[in-house]
């Protein structure tokens, strides 16, 4: 039964080796992959509008005939416009394709064409109706081709030169070959409970919906067939989370002593300040985990500057007082070094040995550091990816901490955990993230973890004053910066790129020169970017920390974690190019002390208020709120989950159709069902049956095999 789906697309009619290669680039190898490639939109071609009935300003789907077409060039614009004229029995319509040079030769008079787009009056010739950049599809000769007209038609995103129409035909054919008894991976009980269509019926429905279904429902992905396929993705992903979770729960952990007087004393000794209520609560949650003979698996969320680091150090203290090592992995060397220095300071009185492990170390140093990690002399090991390299061995790793988890993949977390899994016990794990994420998303990304939230900032912070402006106002911005530095404070100026590029963006290296010589000749400037060698980066950061550098010109390497409380000014140039999360992180570098801080976001020229312009929304959002959760929600809406998660994370999720934000309820439902199947002791046999019946490709896609 599975064969039909697993056969290669190459053998479908209309897919030769060339097209197969294009499809393969998109990861479409089998018929199943092809059927998973769903329409992004549906068009009602049961009835077409006629040109005469067009009301300017509305969107239409029309069937017409090509009259003529050709490129028009204007002296003042280097970009050619392709002009296409079409007609139907009721009138004539003009279409303009900007940058349309590539269309030369595509259309011939008399061809039948379907157009979809917004119709308007030509502003230069008010008697004419036009469509700007409409979507179009040339119809074949077979006048009654059942995939093209007379139905609700699926529109696919083109894959290379394979257009929507070709995809439609090939998919139609593949659907026709589906055996009637196609295997349905969802348990029958679930199909029944939620009245979902079978997988076979759902696939046919989403590709070629019946004429009775509403186009709006389809376009909102809310048809029963869509819902079933979305549920299916969430269900299997949550199943893998549930199984991963169960696996850690069944592993043996090290039960730490937590409540003893000696440990209380040790914790008191390291604290440089009075913890906030939120920090205390979160530490209590962590302590309760550490006491149990089951590995902790906890996510610590807290907005930038909420004070996660010291909580991590407290957890590490408990581990070290229990004769175990603790490791802290950070995504950048700058951050790792900063944590290392902070840990040295915090742990100085307690006398714990703190070790740094980054790839920038000299070979000799690295060997020595590794030896101390191996022997157990090194008690708290701070580092980057270098921690999970081969050859790094711990004597007794009891606690793994991952800072800024969103920068790592699930796999890297796992590798570090494996370093500590010896002699039948697994280490406790604490992951921290400063990208606050809405609950539905943390269920998706971190659904196998328990969650603690620091929802309070340390006292004595003055909110950061944020505004956005244009380059024309840079002199005023620089004046303010000079004033702050004169008061003994420090500043960051951030650029989007290191070196000059084709995109004509201001570059850190060039601007650093200009600023040093022309703008701030009397100030001490430093330059920091990702291409410096480790020692250079370290030295610049150290001098900035010590106040020897007053103005740090930088790229986004300082985006995460950097903590210099004396810095009160953050200027971001080309702020329109940065994502919301980035801007929020950058702003998080200031406002860390008691002094008033200023964040100025600079765009080259003014952006007019436009609720459809993401750049404008981002800048306005930054000005109007400093709440990380609110910012994350808006960011997610702007970017969609794929980009929000980042490709690395997203690739690991196996979600194509499902969107955690849009499909919140299905996610919760699928999660409940999946966890019940894993946690309910009576469901064991059912679960085994389910997993055994799954095709290996599915097990891979949802990582079910690896955790099974």
Closer residue to Mg ion in complex, CB, 379/433: 433
Binding-site string for ligand ADP from residue 443 to residue 482, where x marks contact by CB under 6 A and - marks none: ---------------x------------------------
Helix H or strand E encompassing 570: strand 567-573
Closer residue to ligand ADP in complex, CB, 345/531: 345
Residues 607 and 619 sit within 8 Å (Cβ to Cβ): yes
Among 565, 642, 654, 708, binds ligand ADP (CB under 6 A): 565
CA 190 vs CA 12, 104, 416, 690: distances in Å: 33, 53, 37, 12
Binding-site string for ligand ADP from residue 375 to residue 414, where x marks contact by CB under 6 A and - marks none: ----------------------------------------
* Residue of closest CB approach to ligand ADP: 307
Kindly identify the residues of this chain, within the stretch 591-630, that bind ligand ADP according to CB under 6 A: 592
Closer residue to ligand ADP in complex, CB, 242/327: 327
State the first-to-last Cα distance of the chain, in angstroms, to the nearest integer.
Answer: 24
Select from ligand ADP, Mg ion, none the partner in contact with residue 383, using the beta carbon and a kind-dependent cut-off of 5 to 8 Å: none
Kindly identify the residues of this chain, within the stretch 9-48, that bind ligand ADP according to CB under 6 A: none
Helix 580-587 / helix 614-624 crossing angle, nearest 10 deg: 30
Q: Which residues contact 518 (CB under 8 A, 6 or more apart)?
A: none
What is the smallest separation between the CB atom of 409 and Mg ion, expressed in angstroms? 19
What is the smallest separation between the CB atom of 636 and Mg ion, expressed in angstroms? 21
Tokens 């593949």 correspond to 174
> Are β-strands 465-470 and 525-528 bridged in parallel, bridged antiparallel, or unpaired?
unpaired
CA 694 vs CA 37, 184, 190, 246, 337: distances in Å: 20, 9, 16, 20, 46
What is the smallest separation between the CB atom of 125 and ligand ADP, expressed in angstroms? 59
Select from ligand ADP, Mg ion, none the partner in contact with residue 302, using the beta carbon and a kind-dependent cut-off of 5 to 8 Å: ligand ADP
Q: What span, in angstroms and rounded, lies between the C-alpha atoms of 31 and 286?
A: 48
Residues 492 and 569 sit within 8 Å (Cβ to Cβ): yes
Q: What span, in angstroms and rounded, lies between the C-alpha atoms of 79 and 98?
A: 7
Q: In what order do the strands lie in the sheet with 598-603?
A: 465-470, 598-603, 567-573, 490-494, 551-554, 525-528
**Chain centre distance of CA 227:** 23
Closer residue to Mg ion in complex, CB, 295/307: 307
Closer residue to ligand ADP in complex, CB, 70/458: 458
Q: Output the CA torsion sign for 512, 514, 516, 519.
A: negative
CA 519 vs CA 14, 429, 477, 510: distances in Å: 64, 48, 12, 13
What is the smallest separation between the CB atom of 64 and ligand ADP, expressed in angstroms? 59
Q: Does 275 interact with ligand ADP (rule: CB under 6 A)?
A: yes
Q: Count CB atoms within 10 A of the CB of residue 1.
A: 12
Kindly identify the residues of this chain, within the stretch 291-320, that bind ligand ADP according to CB under 6 A: 302, 304-310
Among 270, 326, 399, 434, binds ligand ADP (CB under 6 A): 434
Closer residue to ligand ADP in complex, CB, 311/361: 311
Among 420, 561, 588, 628, binds Mg ion (CB under 5 A): 561
What is the smallest separation between the CB atom of 573 and ligand ADP, expressed in angstroms? 24
Closer residue to ligand ADP in complex, CB, 592/598: 592
What is the smallest separation between the CB atom of 434 and Mg ion, expressed in angstroms? 6
User: Of 264, 261, 307, 254, which is closest to residue 284 (Cα–Cα)?
Assistant: 264
Closer residue to ligand ADP in complex, CB, 422/461: 461
Q: What span, in angstroms and rounded, lies between the C-alpha atoms of 292 and 288?
A: 7
What is the smallest separation between the CB atom of 133 and ligand ADP, expressed in angstroms? 44
What is the smallest separation between the CB atom of 560 and ligand ADP, expressed in angstroms? 9
Q: Which two tokens stand for residue 13?
A: 């009619």
Tokens 């802290």 correspond to 328
What is the smallest separation between the CB atom of 561 and Mg ion, expressed in angstroms? 4
What is the smallest separation between the CB atom of 558 and ligand ADP, expressed in angstroms? 13
Select from Mg ion, ligand ADP, none the partner in contact with residue 13, using the beta carbon and a kind-dependent cut-off of 5 to 8 Å: none
Choices 274-282, 326-334, 511-519, 688-696; region in contact with ligand ADP by CB under 6 A: 274-282
Q: Please give the residue ranges that form the binding site for ligand ADP (CB under 6 A).
A: 273-276, 279, 302, 304-310, 434, 458, 563, 565, 592
Q: Please give the residue ranges that form the binding site for Mg ion (CB under 5 A).
A: 561
């Amino acid at each position: 039964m599975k064969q039909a789906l697993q056969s290669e697309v190459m053998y479908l009619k209309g897919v030769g080796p060339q097209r197969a290669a294009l499809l393969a680039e998109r990861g479409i190898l089998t018929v199943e992959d092809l059927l998973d490639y769903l329409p992004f939109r549906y068009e009602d071609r049961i009835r077409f509008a006629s040109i005469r009935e067009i009301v300017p300003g509305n969107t239409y789907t029309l069937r017409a005939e090509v009259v003529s077409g050709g490129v028009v060039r204007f002296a003042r614009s280097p970009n050619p416009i392709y002009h296409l004229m079409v007609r139907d029995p009721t009138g004539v319509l003009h279409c303009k394709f900007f940058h349309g040079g590539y269309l030369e030769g595509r259309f011939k008079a008399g061809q039948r064409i379907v157009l979809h787009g917004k119709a308007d009056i030509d502003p230069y010739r008010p008697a004419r109706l036009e469509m700007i950049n409409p979507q179009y599809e040339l119809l074949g000769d077979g006048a009654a081709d059942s995939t093209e007209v007379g139905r609700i038609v699926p529109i696919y995103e083109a894959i290379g030169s394979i257009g929507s129409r070709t995809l439609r035909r090939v998919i139609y054919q593949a659907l026709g070959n589906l055996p009637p008894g196609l295997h349905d991976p969802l348990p029958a009980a679930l199909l029944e409970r939620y009245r979902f269509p079978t997988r076979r019926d759902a696939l046919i429905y989403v590709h070629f919906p019946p004429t009775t279904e509403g186009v709006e429902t389809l376009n909102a992905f809310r048809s029963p067939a869509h819902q079933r396929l979305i549920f299916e993705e969430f269900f299997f992903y949550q199943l893998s989370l549930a199984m991963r979770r169960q696996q850690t729960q069944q592993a043996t952990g090290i039960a730490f002593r937590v409540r003893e007087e000696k440990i209380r004393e040790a914790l008191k000794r390291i604290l440089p300040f009075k913890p906030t209520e939120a920090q205390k609560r979160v530490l209590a949650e962590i302590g309760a985990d550490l006491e149990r003979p089951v590995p902790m698996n906890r996510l610590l969320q807290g907005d930038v500057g909420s004070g996660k680091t010291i909580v991590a150090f407290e957890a590490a203290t408990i581990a070290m007082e229990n004769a175990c090592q603790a490791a802290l992995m950070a995504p950048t060397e700058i951050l790792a070094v900063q944590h290392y220095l902070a840990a040295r300071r915090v742990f100085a009185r307690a006398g714990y040995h703190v070790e740094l492990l980054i790839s920038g170390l000299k070979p000799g140093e690295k060997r020595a550091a590794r030896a101390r990690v191996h022997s157990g002399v090194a008690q708290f090991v701070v580092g980057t990816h270098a921690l999970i390299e081969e050859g790094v061995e711990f004597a007794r790793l009891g606690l793994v901490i991952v800072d800024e988890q969103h920068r790592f993949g699930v796999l890297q977390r796992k590798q570090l955990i494996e370093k500590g899994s010896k002699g039948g016990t697994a280490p406790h794990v604490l992951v921290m993230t400063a990208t606050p994420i809405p609950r539905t998303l943390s269920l998706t990304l971190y659904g196998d973890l328990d969650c603690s939230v620091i929802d309070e900032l340390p006292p004595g912070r003055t909110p950061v004053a944020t505004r956005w402006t244009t380059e024309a106002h840079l002199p005023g911005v620089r004046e303010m910066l000079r004033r702050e530095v004169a008061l003994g404070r420090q500043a960051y100026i951030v650029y989007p790129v290191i070196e000059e590029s084709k995109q004509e963006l201001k570059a850190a290296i060039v601007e650093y020169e200009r600023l040093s010589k022309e703008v701030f000749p009397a100030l001490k400037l430093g330059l920091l970017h990702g291409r410096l060698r480790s020692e250079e980066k370290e030295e610049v950061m150290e001098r900035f920390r010590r106040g020897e550098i007053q103005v740090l010109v930088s790229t986004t390497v300082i985006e995460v974690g950097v903590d210099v409380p004396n810095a009160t000014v953050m200027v971001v140039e080309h702020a329109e190019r940065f994502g919301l999360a980035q801007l929020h992180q950058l702003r998080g570098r200031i406002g860390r002390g008691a002094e008033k801080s200023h964040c100025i976001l600079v765009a080259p020229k003014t952006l007019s208020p436009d609720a459809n312009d993401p750049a404008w929304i981002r800048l306005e959002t930054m000005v109007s709120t400093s709440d990380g959760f609110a910012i994350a929600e808006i960011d997610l809406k702007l970017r969609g989950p794929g980009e929000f998660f980042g490709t690395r994370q997203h690739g690991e999720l196996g979600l194509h159709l499902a969107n955690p934000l849009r499909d919140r309820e299905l996610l919760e439902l699928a999660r409940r069902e999946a966890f019940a199947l894993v946690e309910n002791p009576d469901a064991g046999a059912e679960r085994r049956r389910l997993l055994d019946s799954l095709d290996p490709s599915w097990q891979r896609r949802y990582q079910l095999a690896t955790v099974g």
